[in-house]
């Protein structure tokens, strides 16, 4: 078992060519050696004040010269230890995402909750956002130029936004028929990668610009140093609650086409309410319809699996005879207002990263992590008990608290197992997945791999690789 000694150094290897974010492999190393190598360049030796005084020599010049000389290859070198818990946490989240995507349709308990409530699948998005924040604290712990860092952060967010629009904006229509192309009248503007991009850039800007110069040596000093970031988080929570419970939602209507040549059916939804958090008349959906346009929203809403809208609930199915008018209406689970609370989850992860940066002792880190973790979980459950329901689609305040706290619990558990106790061999697969999370996400969750399997055929599109291996015949 590793000791609880203070960890001396950190090193962040930042790759400008990648768009990793939460899916990014952050090269974080914790080393007890005196020399740190950063981005291929040799940094100056770090000589700590608590180091024992060397024996005096008759020639002081030769002693100082020997200090600055590089270490001989024949001399033993201290092996650096990476903080691999970040990679393991990210890889575990990717594995969880693949599990719920592939098995969620078979086991409803693994699938997303149709509306209120919390299932295993509902933890995936907050976990990604949480790890974004942790990674940002380590990426921007030392800044040479805020303007350059801002430009790089914006560029990375734009890259991820472009990837999200391409993969989730509607380019792939029907996999079985291999039809592609984007109808700009119906492109989906928001999505998972787009939400991560928005949360990333705003959290990055907070970390770059809203950071004090105070010396951190205790919990209160940590709060003082990052007080403006906490002010941003509180403001976002206040803004979300005001809009969700304060906006008036009028009646609205939408239309759907049963066939391309048929006359569209028009459905009217009666609302005229305020502070409603049900599927039909909430402010989250109204803002998306007004700003993004209803034709640019996700067309397979999660609430279509509710008992009111499906005879096979909690799975998708035919509409009941008395189904309400809103059952087939588009609704984006990664909409604008709900993304406000997603940013707060990222800022919570940022705080956990600050603890890594400023406190080196394992015990101190775990204590400072578990205090906000416990408060978030308890507060979220109390809010749900008093009527502010846990809701992933709306990204309710209670949902943010519970899932961010759960992310903290899992992260602490992985940190204890991997970085403190040293059981890294048990998680080597998760670590590998964490290093290549963006690639795995694109291949598995964005249908790139299914396209590859169906895109190569012999003579007839049906004679593809899937038929060759006996799948889908």
Angle value at C-alpha 276, between 404 and 281, nearest 5 degrees: 110
- Cα torsion through 143, 144, 145, 151, rounded to 10: -60
Q: What is the pLDDT of residue 447?
A: 63
Whether the pLDDT of residue 15 is over 90: the answer is no
- The phi, psi pair for 254, rounded to 5°, reads -150, 165
- Split at pLDDT 50, 70, 90, the class of 187 is confident
Q: What is the mean pLDDT of residues 387-415?
A: 95
Residue pLDDT, tens place only, 415-461: 999 888 888 777 788 888 877 777 777 776 666 666 666 666 676 66
Only one residue has tokens 């992985």, namely 414
CA distance 334 to 154: 20
Q: How many Cβ atoms sit within 10 Å of the Cβ of residue 291?
A: 12
Give one DSSP letter per residue of 17-63, joined into a string: T---GGG---EEEEE-SS--EETTEEPPP---TTSPPPPP-S-HHHH
Give the Cα separation of 444 and 196 in Å (integer): 18
pLDDT exceeds cutoff 50 at 469: yes
Does residue 35 have a pLDDT over 70? no
Q: Which two tokens stand for residue 44?
A: 């100056």
Is the pLDDT at 339 greater than 90, yes or no? yes
Q: Which two tokens stand for residue 237?
A: 């929570």
How far is residue 165's CA from residue 337's CA, in Å, rounded to a whole number? 19
- pLDDT (tens digit, 9 = 90+) per residue, 210-248? 988 888 888 889 999 999 999 999 999 999 999 999 999
The partner residues of 10 in beta bridges, in order of sequence, read 30
Q: Count of residues for the chain?
A: 473
pLDDT at 461: 64
101-110, 247-256, 292-301: least confident range: 101-110
Q: Which two tokens stand for residue 33?
A: 């050696």
Asked whether residue 148 carries a pLDDT value surpassing 70, the answer given is yes
Rg for the chain, CA atoms, rounded: 25
- % of residues, the chain, pLDDT over 70: 71
pLDDT for 427 equals 79
Q: What local confidence, expressed as pLDDT, does residue 270 receive?
A: 94
> What are 347-358's pLDDT values in tens digits?
999 999 999 999
Residues 6+ apart with CB under 8 A from 314: 108, 111, 114, 305, 306
Band (58; pLDDT cuts 50, 70, 90): very low
* CB of 163 closer than 8 Å to CB of 440: no
Q: Are 82 and 12 in contact (CB under 8 A)?
A: no
- Give SS3 for 259: coil
- In the prediction, which pLDDT does 438 show? 76
Q: What is the DSSP letter of 391?
A: B
Write the pLDDT tens digit of every residue in 267-304: 999 999 999 999 999 999 999 999 999 988 988 888 99
* Distance (Å, whole) CA 102 – CA 111: 9
Report the pLDDT value the prediction gives residue 240, as an integer from 0 to 100: 97
Average pLDDT, the chain: 79
pLDDT of residue 8: 34
Q: How confident is the model at residue 173 (pLDDT cuts 50, 70, 90)?
A: low
What share of the chain has pLDDT > 90, as a percent? 45
Phi, psi for residue 369 in degrees, rounded to 5: -80, -40
Query: What pLDDT, on a 0 to 100 scale, did the predictor assign at position 18?
Result: 35
């Amino acid at each position: 078992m590793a000791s609880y000694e203070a960890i001396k150094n950190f090193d962040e290897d930042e790759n400008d060519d990648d768009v990793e974010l939460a899916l990014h492999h952050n090269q974080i190393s914790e080393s007890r050696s005196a020399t740190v190598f950063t981005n291929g360049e040799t940094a100056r030796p770090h000589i700590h004040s608590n180091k024992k005084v060397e024996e005096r020599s008759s020639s002081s010049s030769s002693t100082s010269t020997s200090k600055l000389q590089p270490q001989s290859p024949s001399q033993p070198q201290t092996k650096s230890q990476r903080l691999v818990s970040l990679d393991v946490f990210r890889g575990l989240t990717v594995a969880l995402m693949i599990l719920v995507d592939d098995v969620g349709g078979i086991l409803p308990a693994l699938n997303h909750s149709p509306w209120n409530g919390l299932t295993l699948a509902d933890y995936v998005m907050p976990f990604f956002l949480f790890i974004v924040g942790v990674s940002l604290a380590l990426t921007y712990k030392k800044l040479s130029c805020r303007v350059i860092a801002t430009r790089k952060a914006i560029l990375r967010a734009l890259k991820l936004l472009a990837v999200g629009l391409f993969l989730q904006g509607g380019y792939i229509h029907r996999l079985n028929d291999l039809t592609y192309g984007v109808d700009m009248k119906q492109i989906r503007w928001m999505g998972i990668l787009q939400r991560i991009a928005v949360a990333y850039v705003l959290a990055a800007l907070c970390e770059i610009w809203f950071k004090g110069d105070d010396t951190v040596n205790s919990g209160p000093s940590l709060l003082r140093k990052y007080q403006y970031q906490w002010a941003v988080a509180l403001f976002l929570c206040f803004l979300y609650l005001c809009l969700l419970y304060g906006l008036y939602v009028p009646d609205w209507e939408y239309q759907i086409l049963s066939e391309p040549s048929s006359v569209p059916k028009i459905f009217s939804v009666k609302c005229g309410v305020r502070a409603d958090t049900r599927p039909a008349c909430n402010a989250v959906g109204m803002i998306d319809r007004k700003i993004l346009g209803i034709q640019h929203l996700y067309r397979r809403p999660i609430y279509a699996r509710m008992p009111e809208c499906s005879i096979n609930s909690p799975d998708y199915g035919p509409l009941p005879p008395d189904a309400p008018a809103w059952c087939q209406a588009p609704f984006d689970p990664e909409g604008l207002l709900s993304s406000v609370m997603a940013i707060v989850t990222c800022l919570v992860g940022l705080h956990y990263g600050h603890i890594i940066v400023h406190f080196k002792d394992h015990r101190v880190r775990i204590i400072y992590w578990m205090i906000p973790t416990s408060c978030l979980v308890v507060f979220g459950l109390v809010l749900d008990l008093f009527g502010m329901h846990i809701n992933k689609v709306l990204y309710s305040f209670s949902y943010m608290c519970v899932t961010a706290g759960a992310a903290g619990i899992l992260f602490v558990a992985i940190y204890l197992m991997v970085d403190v106790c040293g059981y890294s061999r048990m998680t080597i697969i998760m670590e590998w997945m964490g290093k290549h999370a963006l690639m795995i996400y694109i291949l598995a969750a964005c249908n790139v791999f299914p396209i590859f399997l169906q895109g190569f055929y012999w003579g007839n599109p049906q004679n593809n690789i899937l038929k060759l291996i006996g799948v889908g015949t």
